[in-house]
Amino acid sequence: MFNKSKSPAPTPQSRADSGSSIPPLPDLPAPGQPAASAPRSAGPAPVSQRGLSTLSSDLQFEGAITGGGDLQIDGAIKGDVRVGRLIVGETGAVEGNVSADYVEVRGRIVGGISGKQVKLIATAYVDGDITAEQMSIDIGAYFQGRVLQGRREAPAATPAPRPAAPAAEPAPQIIDMKSGG
């Protein structure tokens, strides 16, 4: 069923040159080789240099989680989560408010979500309000709550004087959605 390839086996000298017997990861260049520009998919936002922390599916955590890094939740969390980038896996569950620049939900969140970019994948279950600059909901995702969509304003160095009469500013969009999948 499977044919053995006829490619030559790596020589012991090439392993000695790399300094260890562990081969490089597929998406990283081998030591001593220039980095080739490989085409990237239009998938989720890139993971930071620190890597991705993971709460595995057999773990449960109770309490708040805060930090600036990236987190993938495959287990269960009871408490608020505030990180730089968050992925809730298909087996992941959060009971509490979530805040991150990038939020991708494949599992379950019962609580509010706040982020610059929020994605609800087809397997997502969200029961709570969402505040986001950019939002996408795949067909099949369950979402019950409200969406407040608008741009975050950068804080001004000095407060500007307020006009006596209210200016005609566009109000953020509030969308009341109930969808099921």
User: Looking at the chain, how many residues does it have?
Assistant: 181
d(CA 107, CA 72): 11
In sequence order, the β-bridge partners of residue 54 are: 72
Residues 6 or more apart whose CB falls under 8 angstroms from that of 67 comprise 82, 83, 84
- Decide if 77 is inside a domain: yes
Q: pLDDT category, 154, cuts 50, 70, 90?
A: very low
- Decide if 65 is inside a domain: yes
In sequence order, the β-bridge partners of residue 131 are: 114, 148
User: Which pair of structure tokens corresponds to residue 174?
Assistant: 């509030």
Please compute Rg for the chain using Cα positions: 23
Q: pLDDT category, 156, cuts 50, 70, 90?
A: very low
Q: Are 121 and 141 in contact (CB under 8 A)?
A: yes
Averaged pLDDT for residues 150-168: 52
User: Residue holding tokens 């991150």?
Assistant: 100
Q: How many domains does the chain have?
A: 1
- Decide if 58 is inside a domain: yes
- Decide if 82 is inside a domain: yes
Q: Are 92 and 109 in contact (CB under 8 A)?
A: no
Domain that holds residue 72: 50-152
- Decide if 16 is inside a domain: no
d(CA 21, CA 69): 30
Q: What is the pLDDT of residues 122-142, one digit of tens each?
A: 999 999 999 999 999 999 999
Residue 105 has pLDDT above 50, yes or no: yes
Residue 113 has pLDDT above 70, yes or no: yes
- Decide if 93 is inside a domain: yes
Averaged pLDDT for residues 28-38: 50
- Decide if 158 is inside a domain: no
Q: Count H helices, E strands: the chain?
A: 1, 16
Percent of the chain with pLDDT over 70: 55
Q: What is the pLDDT of residues 17-26, one digit of tens each?
A: 444 455 554 5
Higher-pLDDT residue of 143, 6? 143
- The confidence score (pLDDT) of residue 51 equals 79
Q: What is the pLDDT of residues 36-83, one digit of tens each?
A: 444 444 444 554 456 789 999 999 999 999 999 999 999 999 999 999
What's the predicted TM-score (pTM) here? Answer: 0.59
- The confidence score (pLDDT) of residue 71 equals 96
- The confidence score (pLDDT) of residue 162 equals 54
- Decide if 106 is inside a domain: yes
- The confidence score (pLDDT) of residue 149 equals 87
- The confidence score (pLDDT) of residue 63 equals 94
Residues 6 or more apart whose CB falls under 8 angstroms from that of 165 comprise none
Percent of the chain with pLDDT over 90: 53
Residue 157 DSSP label: S
Residue 152 has pLDDT above 70, yes or no: no
